[in-house]
Amino acid sequence: MNTKLLYIKEDLSNLDELEPIARAMDKGQVVCFPTETVYGLGARYDLDEAVKEIFRVKGRPQDNPLILHESSVERMAAYYKDWDKVAETLTAAFCPGPFTLIMEKADDLKTVASAGLNTIGLRIPDHPVAHALIKYLGRAIAAPSANISGRPSPTNGSDAYEDLAGKVPYIVVADPSRVGLESTIVSWVGGKLELLRPGGISAKQIGDALIKAGIDPLDLGFKVFSMEDYEKESKPRAPGMKYRHYAPRANVHIIKGDNLEDKLSYIKEHIDQGSIGLKPGFYISIELNKRLSDNPWPVLTFEDTADHHAGSHYLFTAFRELDREACSDIWVENLDFNGLGQAYMNRLEKAACKTLRDPSQGPHL
């Protein structure tokens, strides 16, 4: 298949070129498009064959549901069975943005995107290109991240092209995704509020928004899922979350330590023990790199700030870049949980995770 690239101009003056792409989606085509979190692989949610094609292209198991993308809270609400003050509060605070809300789906909502579950996840992307595409379609786009299952999500056009060239008819390219990690996923089902995947919106922001609206998060049993929780669940709610993913080809290792000195010793220990790998690569802060003098191996650095924005923004790009450098092992600095830190550590732990992988199931995301 010939893959056409459509470049959206910075001043957005050629957004109307998305209309023919929407018409191709009406015919069942699957299209890669940018959002502010990561690039998505989208189809009309109501065309079963088109949605199934997403699963095929990604190599994603059919039991792992897709989320839908809409353009306003009012439209989003129509896909759910009920709408209440919690849903109202969270969507008012975080939509549009990197926030996905899972609730029971409306009885008449028929889509293979939900993979047979009675719940559905929706979000409103904060991106003009995604909005224009939804507008031209006049309905929701079902879209997972545009990576091939198990790989890091693409956050720019060339990373999307790396995974999808020859597999989809169109890739729409705009700026690199602003956030660089996928949305925060919150499930509000059966009176329980659970944060299933940390992302661009932090648990603290969610708690604060609820409190501001006079809702005590503890009354909703607000819970943040950890890796251990996933391991304990016999039937995971989000099947895709249980296995190793976001992973480059190289082995990923976390550089542990509470401060730069500890992290430096951690690296040196592995070098001294000969366990640093045949061709190690590093993804570390500028500060840590300054202390790692005479390092002969590839290093990508980020400017670390309290909210860890840059570290998170470039994480997936760095995985792919160090793979292209043919690194055998990638050593990545751990960060604290401030700002985007929790989402960063979640992706990093899963990329580094060896034990959780169930080979009979393959990678899931």
Please report whether residue 239 would count as binding ligand TXA according to CB under 6 A: yes
**CB–CB of 201/98 below 8 Å?**
yes
Give 237 or 263: the residue with its C-beta nearer to ligand TXA: 237
Q: Which does 64 bind (CB under 5 to 8 A by kind): Mg ion, ligand TXA, none?
A: ligand TXA
Largest CA distance in the chain: 63
Give the shortest CB-183-to-ligand TXA separation in angstroms. Answer: 4
x/- track of binding to ligand TXA for residues 178-217 (CB under 6 A):
----xx-x--------------------------------
Please report whether residue 37 would count as binding ligand TXA according to CB under 6 A: yes
CA dist 249 and 203 (Å) reads 31
Give 37 or 156: the residue with its C-beta nearer to ligand TXA: 37
Give the residue among 121, 134, 132, 155 at the shortest CA–CA distance from 42: 134
CA dist 108 and 341 (Å) reads 39
CA dist 149 and 55 (Å) reads 9
Q: Which does 239 bind (CB under 5 to 8 A by kind): Mg ion, ligand TXA, none?
A: ligand TXA
Strands 68-69 and 170-173: unpaired
**CB–CB of 341/308 below 8 Å?**
yes
Give 71 or 147: the residue with its C-beta nearer to Mg ion: 147
Residue whose entry in the numeric block shows the structure tokens 């092992």: 329
Give 240 or 341: the residue with its C-beta nearer to ligand TXA: 240
x/- track of binding to ligand TXA for residues 144-183 (CB under 6 A):
xx------------------------------------xx
CA dist 205 and 191 (Å) reads 20
Give the shortest CB-156-to-ligand TXA separation in angstroms. Answer: 13
Q: Is the dihedral of CA 244, 248, 250, 251 positive or negative?
A: negative
Please report whether residue 312 would count as binding ligand TXA according to CB under 6 A: no
Please report whether residue 143 would count as binding ligand TXA according to CB under 6 A: yes
Give the shortest CB-68-to-ligand TXA separation in angstroms. Answer: 9
Please report whether residue 65 would count as binding ligand TXA according to CB under 6 A: yes
Which string of DSSP letters, residue by residue, matches 8-47? PPTT-TTGGGHHHHHHHHHTT--EEE--SSS-EEEEETT-
- SS percent in the chain: helix, strand, coil, step 5: 35, 20, 45
Please report whether residue 240 would count as binding ligand TXA according to CB under 6 A: yes
Q: How far is CA 131 from CA 18, 123, 250, 321, in A?
A: 10, 12, 36, 30
Question: Hey, how many other C-beta atoms are within 10 angstroms of the C-beta on 77?
Answer: 18
Please report whether residue 196 would count as binding Mg ion according to CB under 5 A: no
Size of the chain, expressed as the number of residues it contains: 365
CA dist 52 and 27 (Å) reads 14
What's the distance, CA 71 to chain centroid? 19
Please give the residues from 215 up to 234 whose contact with ligand TXA meets the rule CB under 6 A. Answer: none
Residue whose entry in the numeric block shows the structure tokens 């401030």: 338
How many residues belong to the site for ligand TXA (CB under 6 A)?
29
Please report whether residue 35 would count as binding ligand TXA according to CB under 6 A: yes
Give the shortest CB-50-to-Mg ion separation in angstroms. Answer: 18
**CB–CB of 163/147 below 8 Å?**
yes
Please report whether residue 66 would count as binding ligand TXA according to CB under 6 A: yes
Q: Which stretch in 14-22, 143-151, 262-270, 298-306 sits in contact with Mg ion by CB under 5 A?
A: 143-151
Give the shortest CB-282-to-Mg ion separation in angstroms. Answer: 25
Task: Select the residue interacting with Mg ion from 91, 111, 145, 149 (CB under 5 A).
Answer: 145
Please report whether residue 18 would count as binding Mg ion according to CB under 5 A: no
Q: Which stretch in 53-61, 169-177, 276-284, 357-365 sits in contact with Mg ion by CB under 5 A?
A: 357-365
Please report whether residue 100 would count as binding Mg ion according to CB under 5 A: no
Interface residues toward ligand TXA, by CB under 6 A: 35, 37-38, 40, 64-67, 98, 100, 102, 114, 117, 119-121, 123, 143-145, 182-183, 185, 237-241, 365
